[in-house]
Amino acid sequence: MSKTGYYTHPLCMKHEMGEGHPECPERLSAIQDRLLISGVDLGLTQIEAPEAPLADIELAHDRMYIASLRGLSDQLVEDIAAGGPAYGHLDSDTNINSYTWKAALASAGAAVAATDAVIAGELANAFCAIRPPGHHATRNKAGGFCFFNNIAIAAKYALERHGLKRVAVVDFDVHHGNGTEDILSGDDRVLMVSFFQHPFYPHTGTEHPASNMLNIPVPAYTKGMEVRELIETHWVPRLEEFKPEMIFISAGFDAHREDDMGQMGLVEQDYAWITHRLRDIAARHAQGRIVSCLEGGYDLSALSRSVEAHLRVLADI
């Protein structure tokens, strides 16, 4: 068995938010095609994600919020059967279709199952090719294309269900992971480190973060070498001092220079470098344990190449 797991589910392709929406099923198709063409898929253990139990989702989300999302989904299915619209609108850019609820359960389930397998030693690390993404989902609100916060659920699961004492969450999406911060802020068992373009959506991350949050806002047009220097100067010392027993990655690839969702200047080699640094830290403190979950990345070519680079390092290919 390969030491790197690749978790996904067919339902992650069924969720979609309308024609022309950037967070589209083709994102996963592009990744899978790239891994097939490059041969990287041969170095991965492919696993179909289970649905996450609601009790595990409740580690990160209010029960009433979960119930309301399920209710919206059930109502939408009824409305569609009666000839109604195909989408339910949660905010200006976040919609549900009849598959969203199940896709969100599968996405969270991938993160949880990957956590189980890595902690059990069945896998060294894992990547979850999932959508909807998660890091903008707060404890009680969807937004920014996100419904359940996959990485926050997995981090809380590792702490609560497996009894880990310290976990790190690393977020390198171009947007600040406001939902992850909302859920994990103030929990001293978690260190969250991130960089993100600022000022930019969701316009958070700079107002008096808790002591377990290391947020690095960077201006538009920041390039990879500048990001690498910030990581070496700020992230690495904090992570080394914290000594996480497991690392969770919110892997957004929309800081790539070809991705017009943001205005940063990273390339594939930068994502490979970041992954190498995290692997080094995980090897020293966390028995190599890493679970990475897909977040953003909307230029299909840049996304697929960047995920390939990320996975080559995780799988040591």
Q: What is the pLDDT of residues 200-239, one digit of tens each?
A: 999 999 999 999 999 999 999 999 999 999 999 999 999 9
Is 240's pLDDT higher than 90? Answer: yes
65 CB-near residues (< 8 Å, 6+ apart)? 139, 140, 141
Asked if residue 271 has pLDDT above 90, the reply is yes
212, two tokens:
């377990």
Residue 251, pLDDT > 90, answer yes
Compute the distance between CA of residue 251 and CA of residue 306 in angstroms, rounded to an integer: 10
In DSSP terms, which residues pair with 251 in a beta bridge? Answer: 294
pLDDT at 150 exceeding the cut of 90: yes
Q: Which of the following is catalytic: 9, 61, 135, 136? A: 136
DSSP of the chain, one letter per residue?
A: --SEEEEE-THHHH---STT-SS-THHHHHHHHHHHHHTGGGGSEEEEPPPPPHHHHTTTS-HHHHHHHHHHHHHHHHHHHTT--S-EEEETTEEE-TTHHHHHHHHHHHHHHHHHHHHTTS-SEEEE--SS--TT-BTTB-BTTBSS-HHHHHHHHHHHTT--S-EEEEE-SSS--HHHHHHHTT-TTEEEEEEEESS-TT--S-S---TTEEEEEE-TT-BHHHHHHHIIIIIHHHHHHH--SSEEEEE--TTBTT-TTS--BB-HHHHHHHHHHHHHHHHHHSTT-EEEEE----SHHHHHHHHHHHHHHHHT-
- Predicted TM-score (pTM) of the model is 0.98
136 is catalytic: yes
User: What does the pLDDT look like over 13-52, one tens digit per residue?
Assistant: 999 999 999 999 999 999 999 999 999 999 999 999 999 9
Check whether 183 has a pLDDT greater than 60: yes
Domain 4-315 - what CATH class?
Answer: alpha beta
Confidence (pLDDT) at 1: 56
Mean pLDDT of the chain: 98
**Could you read off the pLDDT of 60-92 as tens digits, one per residue?**
999 999 999 999 999 999 999 999 999 999 999
- Find the mean pLDDT for residues 155-167: 98
Q: How far apart are CA 44 and CA 48, in angstroms?
A: 13
| CB neighbour list of residue 312: distance below 8 Å, 6 or more residues apart | 40, 272
Whole-Å CA distances, 231 to 131, 132, 296: 27, 27, 20
pLDDT of res. 196:
98
Amino acid 2: pLDDT: 72
The structure tokens 């969270």 sit at 108
The per-residue pLDDT for 142 is 98
